[in-house]
A and B are shown apart, each in its own frame.
Chain A
Amino acid sequence: MDLLNAIVALLNFVVIPATAYGAQLALGALGVTLIYGILRFSNFAHGDTMAFGTAMVILFTWLFQSMGIHLGPLPTALLALPFGIAATAALVLGTDRAVYRFYRKQKAAPVILVIVSMGVMFVMNGVTRFIIGVGEIRFDDGARFVINAGEFKKSTGLAEGLAFRSTQALTIVTAILVVAALFWFLNRTRTGKSMRAYSDNEDLALLSGISPEKVVAVTWTISAALAVIAGTLYGLDKSFKAFNYFQLLLPIFASAIVGGLGSPLGAIAGGFVVAFSEVSITYAWKKVATYVLPESLAPDGLMQLLSTDYKFAVSFAILIIVLLFKPTGLFKGKSV
């Protein structure tokens, strides 16, 4: 019985939250890694693209709610998602046309593009705050739980409750669908194949008649869509606050680098590596330990390795370990 309780507590406080968070990071890191693979720079504006997209989704959610449109048990934000993606894709494509294209034509050094993306980050950050403010916004509606902690306790007779929130379930399901669609697109369609060709060898791709502008536009659109989906899922799961999205940049980059910049499969693996390390290192293991260990060995402290204030330190430590020992990442990303 104690072992069962330990497993339930572990599921409840570590596995489920980390899986949902990992899925969100993976979606964000996929966007970063695609931009890196095709456009060959680290896009510092990605966190703020997520924030802008989520802000758009929130606005459309409010619009639908005021019109009385609901999705029943699912959050209304799902209905608003395509509109948010469209608005963000338009913004990102506009930015590419107005800002990035000039440097691409000049064949500017990647680091210049990074600085340019910093300027874009500033502007997007300002626009997002201008539109929706800096406050914390909760916009989830519909059913709260798939599995309710109280009912779970009653029906199983265990001391530990298991809560599985619908936003967490939604995150995991959406992430699986999106990743499947993305890999189908990259591996099976003509456009996807031309994107991979362009990423592998730009000159050869140009010689075989692939239009670079089209590849770039498709990449931006996909990355914007991924950013909006990741941002919306994160906002539904936790809450929306513009500055938090800026701070997500570090774990997202850590995920992309751990997996290997430029490798989509790596971005997904990296997202889960970072999320599981972060949650398990900042979780107080006392509860699980008391169930598993005999009474004489029961811990006095919280058994928390690091306080949650230092969760960024975890992504950073992982990043440093990878940079020191395996700079190309787990899945052999682009050269160092």
Chain B
Amino acid sequence: MTANMRTLLLFAGMALLIVLEGSTTFLGIFGGSWNSALFILTFGLLSAIMSLGVNMQWGYAGLFNVGVVGFVALGGLAPVLIATQPVSEVWTSAGAYRLLLALLVGAAIIGLAITLNHRLRGRGRVIALLVTLVAGFFIFRAIFDPAVEVIEAFQPATYSNIGGLGLPVLLAWPVGALFAAGAAWMIGKTALGLRSDYLAIATLGIAEIIVSVLKNEDWLARGVKLVHSIPRPVPREIDLQADPGFVDFAARFGTDPVTASTILVKLLYALLFLAVLLVLIFAMEMALKSPWGRMMRAIRDNEVAAEAMGKNVTGRHLQIFILGSAVCGLAGAMMVTMDSLHNPSTYNPLRFTFLIWVMVIVGGSGNNWGAMLGGLLISFLWVKVEVWGPAALNFLTSGLDPDSPLRQHLQDSAAHMRLLTMGLVLLLVLRFSPRGLIPEK
């Protein structure tokens, strides 16, 4: 069996799983609802894009990024800042303009510190840096704090933020990628070139900080108070249900308009995401076949030799780290657009960092199709284990008295089955099939 046959078969199997989820309830294994099937599909496509990003970093270059959740969250900020309507009331010289000034001053101070760090030597450098940063911090806070107070005081129940630009939401996707790329540039500049564990810990840290900024800075995107009804690129379900033409259309298929509208919307998102995913994979496959791709693999397989051949290893690492993080940011922007809800409390590192890693490893690191398959398959399992776990425990504990505390406890804890399952899947694949389902050629 050739490698291509194997890939085709695996993808056909994945498609079959999703079709079965939509069409049958065989023994309670599948949901039997197209809504659920399409939910898994959109979820899977988004995860597949994230795992493509991680696969670029890990599979092409061997960079260990455990801050995926941070880059996803940063990308998710873009739909809020681009697509929602501006809150014009706070765009005054005491409010948002002052805030922008504060951010510019902050950037200038950091720029100055970096220049001083390059220009000076010895003890003078340390003192100059300390003075610049400490004084700069207080200057920044003096401009920043009053502006934040003004903005957050404006109608806290609905706004308390600066709003967005009111531009089309699709524009937010590349912007989300840019946000993530910016953060990746900063972290890459500091931690790349050191040993691999350090990059891991640095990315873990930056992700924590990005998520806590999103949770606490209400002026930016209302923090945990959520931003609702971000504009969407596809029609809303309610509008469809009110449209007589659509009701007729649904009746012809013999479904009620509510189900038909939710399915149609999910289907449109799935098509949109699939288009993005295929464009990305095409671009990445082309890049991998080009001299650039060969250079990346050469660097990954032997850094010392590549450096001896005159390749700029740290520079290339920085490049691929930025590109991979940008892809994660893109996925974040797409996810928030689909939910049309910005909720930073959902950014859990276990879900958005470590699960993506499971996808890459299971799918086959270094292979884009593998990463995509891993994304779809693990998403399917992630959603389904939540259903299967309690059912399995119910079956296993059926011998116990229904009121026994042990049985109660086990059934209450069943929700945690999926962490356990994902960990086991990762360990088993690493041990017995370390190259994944679709190995690198």
Mutual binders A and B? yes
Query: A-side interface residues toward B, CB under 8 Å?
Result: 41-42, 44, 99, 102, 110-112, 114-116, 118-127, 129-131, 133-134, 246-247, 249-250, 253-254, 257, 261, 305, 307, 309-310, 312-313, 315-316, 319-320, 323-324, 327, 336
A118 touches B357 (CB 8 A): yes
Supposing A119-B430, A323-B191 touch, asked if A125 and B350 sit within 8 A by C-beta, the answer is yes
Neighbouring B residues of A313 by C-beta, 8 Å:
209, 212
Supposing A116-B427, A315-B205 touch, asked if A126 and B215 sit within 8 A by C-beta, the answer is no
Supposing A125-B419, A323-B198 touch, asked if A312 and B208 sit within 8 A by C-beta, the answer is yes
Band of interface residues on B = 35 or more
Supposing A307-B216, A312-B205, A327-B198 touch, asked if A122 and B190 sit within 8 A by C-beta, the answer is no
A271 to B: closest C-beta gap in Å: 16
B361 touches A319 (CB 8 A): no
Supposing A315-B205, A316-B206 touch, asked if A114 and B417 sit within 8 A by C-beta, the answer is no
Measured CA separation A42–B204 after assembly (Å): 13
B350 touches A122 (CB 8 A): yes
Measured CA separation A238–B236 after assembly (Å): 47
Neighbouring B residues of A249 by C-beta, 8 Å:
204
B200 touches A42 (CB 8 A): yes
B51-88 vs A, CB cutoff 8 Å, 1 = contact: the mask equals 00000000000101010000000000000000000000
B205 touches A122 (CB 8 A): no
Measured CA separation A121–B349 after assembly (Å): 12
A119 touches B423 (CB 8 A): yes
Measured CA separation A310–B209 after assembly (Å): 7
B192-206 vs A, CB cutoff 8 Å, 1 = contact: the mask equals 001111101110111
B201 touches A250 (CB 8 A): yes
B419 to A: closest C-beta gap in Å: 4
Q: In the complex, which residue of chain B has the Cβ closest to the Cβ of A95?
A: B427
Could you name 22 residue pairs across A and B whose Cβ atoms are closer than 8 Å?
Answer: A102-B431, A110-B196, A114-B64, A122-B354, A122-B358, A122-B419, A123-B420, A125-B419, A126-B416, A126-B420, A130-B413, A130-B420, A250-B201, A250-B204, A305-B137, A310-B216, A312-B209, A316-B205, A316-B208, A320-B191, A327-B198, A336-B195
Does chain A have a CB within 8 A of B285? Answer: no
Shortest 8 CB-CB distances between A and B: which pairs? A122-B423, A126-B420, A123-B423, A126-B419, A316-B205, A119-B426, A129-B416, A119-B427
Does chain A have a CB within 8 A of B103? Answer: no
Supposing A115-B357, A116-B427, A119-B426 touch, asked if A41 and B197 sit within 8 A by C-beta, the answer is yes
Measured CA separation A99–B424 after assembly (Å): 11
B62, B205, B349: residue with the most chain A Cβ atoms closer than 10 Å: B205
B394 to A: closest C-beta gap in Å: 15
User: Which of A102, A122, A247, A253 lies in contact with B422, CB distance below 8 A?
Assistant: A122
Measured CA separation A257–B201 after assembly (Å): 10
Measured CA separation A336–B199 after assembly (Å): 12
Supposing A111-B196, A313-B209, A316-B208 touch, asked if A116 and B430 sit within 8 A by C-beta, the answer is yes
A42 touches B190 (CB 8 A): no
Query: B-side interface residues toward A, CB under 8 Å?
Result: 62, 64, 66, 137, 190-191, 194-198, 200-202, 204-206, 208-209, 212-213, 215-216, 349-350, 354, 357-358, 361, 412-413, 416-424, 426-427, 430-431
Neighbouring B residues of A111 by C-beta, 8 Å:
62, 64, 196-197
B194 touches A121 (CB 8 A): no
Measured CA separation A319–B190 after assembly (Å): 11
Measured CA separation A3–B198 after assembly (Å): 43
Neighbouring A residues of B204 by C-beta, 8 Å:
249-250, 253
B364 to A: closest C-beta gap in Å: 14
Supposing A115-B357, A133-B413, A310-B216 touch, asked if A42 and B426 sit within 8 A by C-beta, the answer is no
Q: In the complex, which residue of chain B has the Cβ closest to the Cβ of A327?
A: B194
Measured CA separation A172–B412 after assembly (Å): 37
Neighbouring A residues of B212 by C-beta, 8 Å:
309-310, 312-313
Q: In the complex, which residue of chain A has the Cβ closest to the Cβ of B206?
A: A316
Neighbouring B residues of A323 by C-beta, 8 Å:
190-191, 194, 198, 202
User: Which of B205, B350, B358 lies in contact with A250, CB distance below 8 A?
Assistant: B205
Measured CA separation A313–B212 after assembly (Å): 9
User: Which of B137, B349, B412, B419 lies in contact with A133, CB distance below 8 A?
Assistant: B412
Taking A119-B424, A313-B212, A315-B205 as known contacts, 15 extra A-B pairs with beta carbons closer than 8 A to each other, sorted by chain A number, are A99-B431, A110-B196, A110-B197, A114-B64, A116-B427, A123-B424, A125-B350, A126-B418, A126-B420, A133-B412, A261-B197, A316-B208, A320-B190, A320-B202, A336-B198
Measured CA separation A316–B412 after assembly (Å): 36
Measured CA separation A41–B209 after assembly (Å): 24
A309 touches B215 (CB 8 A): yes
Measured CA separation A238–B90 after assembly (Å): 40
Neighbouring A residues of B205 by C-beta, 8 Å:
250, 254, 312, 315-316, 319-320
B427 touches A123 (CB 8 A): yes
Neighbouring A residues of B195 by C-beta, 8 Å:
336
B393 to A: closest C-beta gap in Å: 10
A115 touches B209 (CB 8 A): no
A129 touches B413 (CB 8 A): yes
User: Which of B197, B354, B422 lies in contact with A42, CB distance below 8 A?
Assistant: B197
B83 to A: closest C-beta gap in Å: 27
Measured CA separation A41–B197 after assembly (Å): 8
Measured CA separation A246–B419 after assembly (Å): 13
Q: In the complex, which residue of chain B has the Cβ closest to the Cβ of A312?
A: B208
Neighbouring B residues of A127 by C-beta, 8 Å:
420
Q: In the complex, which residue of chain B has the Cβ closest to the Cβ of A102?
A: B431
Measured CA separation A127–B426 after assembly (Å): 15
